[in-house]
Amino acid sequence: MDFQISKRDLSAALRQVLQGRKADSADLMDMTADRSTLTVVVTGRSIEIPIEAQERSSFSIPIGVLFKVKKISGTYEEKSFRIRISEGKFRLQGMSIAHPDIKARPIARRIIDIPEDATPRDILSLPLIFSMNEIEECGLSLKLLDEQKGLAEQLTSAFESLRDYGFDRNELSAMAKEKVRAHADAMKRVLFAGE
């Protein structure tokens, strides 16, 4: 697991998860990174935090490790952190905590079922919802590449038309990304409503 998270979001999540718990608690917390969301589940609580991750993954982490992470994260000045978790290790920036109970959890392979008449935004939203492996396994990589190429061409055309009015390419790209992200969030609510 490898993701970026804001210091503020990490602090709020740790405060919520650790509230009323002791550092020597035997409880385990489950963390699942899913491209733009980190889901944290511990007995009696479940929260979602915005992150930036490349792949979908899940780990079980002892509560005691999180108390150490909370203490150490307060010593960093940065506004965002890179967190990497592997079997037996939790890394926050340059700090590493070893614990034998930090373990990877299996994630069920998800089938991506989209209609033939899916809109370009539906296809462009896929990487914000599913891992690249899942997209590839479901045979949608070429369709995604075609839509990404089409969007790039449309942005170039829009830029050429609007450049004289003060628009720049980065501004148009940011607007397009925001539209796709909002659409992906709406799709997630529909696709995973029962989860």
pLDDT at residue 3 in the model: 93
pLDDT at 195: 52
Q: What gap in Å lies between CA 182 and CA 18, rounded to an integer?
A: 31
Sign of torsion, CA 190 193 194 195?
A: positive
Does residue 77 form part of some domain?
yes
Q: Name the residue type at position 119.
A: T
For the sheet containing 80-86, what is the strand order? 52-53, 2-6, 80-86, 89-92, 95-98
pTM of the model: 0.56
* Residue that terminates a domain, selected from 80, 104, 128: 104
Q: In Å, how far are 42, 52, 59, 89 from 63, measured between CA atoms? A: 9, 23, 13, 14
What pLDDT was estimated at residue 193? 60
Q: Tens of pLDDT along 30-62?
A: 888 887 888 888 876 778 889 988 888 889 999
- Pick from 77, 94, 95, 98: which is nearest to 86 by CA? 98
Residues 85 and 130 in one domain: no
**In the prediction, which pLDDT does 156 show?**
93
Q: Same domain for 88 and 16?
A: yes
Residues of the chain with pLDDT under 50: none
- Domain end: 53, 77, 104, which one? 104
What per-residue confidence (pLDDT) applies to 124? 93
Domain range enclosing 164: 120-191
Q: What is the pLDDT of residue 110?
A: 65
Do 100 and 6 reside in the same domain of the chain?
Answer: yes
Tell me, yes or no, whether 111 lies in a domain.
no
- Rounded distance between C-alpha atoms, residue 84 and residue 81, angstroms: 10
pLDDT of residue 116: 74
In sequence order, what are the beta bridge partners of 86?
89
- Hey, what amino acid is at 99? H
Q: Are 92 and 1 in contact (CB under 8 A)?
A: no
Of 73, 104, 135, which marks where a domain is finished?
Answer: 104
